[in-house]
Structure 1
């Protein structure tokens, strides 16, 4: 019974972590494909990976993590705008990490991409919980 109560209390966090891992994998795989298979520069690869990951994150966060109840166009547009604005802010954190640590300092790009995504996941959860999908 204690385990069930704990699961009930933290199910959104657990779902967010699971989909956060998938979002991170999508981001890293897309980055790798762009950089290593399509031979794009670091920043182009980073931006494309971010866009793909944010689309995936919105769909999963809306439906399975924060259980959005918005069903009218105005509410959904507001929700999407807030989601993409917050993700743009954390995307800038990702881009800056890649620029500074990969382009300038020359640290391994995949390692920095992974670490930057951990920071971004935490920031995104806070924004989603407190701003985007807050229940009235």
Structure 2
């Protein structure tokens, strides 16, 4: 166990991936909590509750990815807004991939919803990591 912890501390890429997965899990918690609070406590409709939970979870993901996962060093308002804009854009793209995969797996391949969602979310996690690592939080933004 000590060797594993030491390896994680020393290996920047491994630490980045583990941190990304941790904060991705926390983002999911934010999404669920906001959705159920808005839906059950406030009595808001499904679309409003889901939209609010998506927006707040994307903002949470942006903040944690920027600061702790990819350690973006961008400075100034313009660079911040560029990263934020790219982050939202690529999260919308990943939402499109999510819906497309779900429809394909369920309607075309007749896959069960749970398995389809599991496979789709694996694709989305990888896609979001690639988008963030190579297209959003890049040294070009500094």
Q: Give the alignment's TM-score, normalised by structure 1.
A: 0.73
Cα distance per residue 1:26-51 (max 9 Å; x no partner) = 00111111222222222221110001
Q: Which residue of 2 aligns with 1:31?
A: 35
Q: Which residue of 2 aligns with 1:8?
A: 10
- Match of 2:90, SS state, is helix
2:64 paired with 1:64: no
RMSD of aligned alpha carbons: 3.0
Q: Which one of 83, 90, 109 corresponds to residue 86 of structure 1?
A: 90
Q: Give the alignment's TM-score, normalised by structure 2.
A: 0.71
CA–CA distance in structure 2, aligned partners of residues 92 and 21 of structure 1: 20
CA–CA distance in structure 1, aligned partners of residues 127 and 19 of structure 2: 16
Report how many residues are paired: 126
2:69 paired with 1:47: no
Q: Which residue of 1 aligns with 2:110?
A: none
User: Unaligned regions of 5+ residues in structure 1, if any?
Assistant: 102-107
- Match of 1:69, SS state, is coil
CA–CA distance in structure 2, aligned partners of residues 93 and 50 of structure 1: 15
Larger radius of gyration: 2
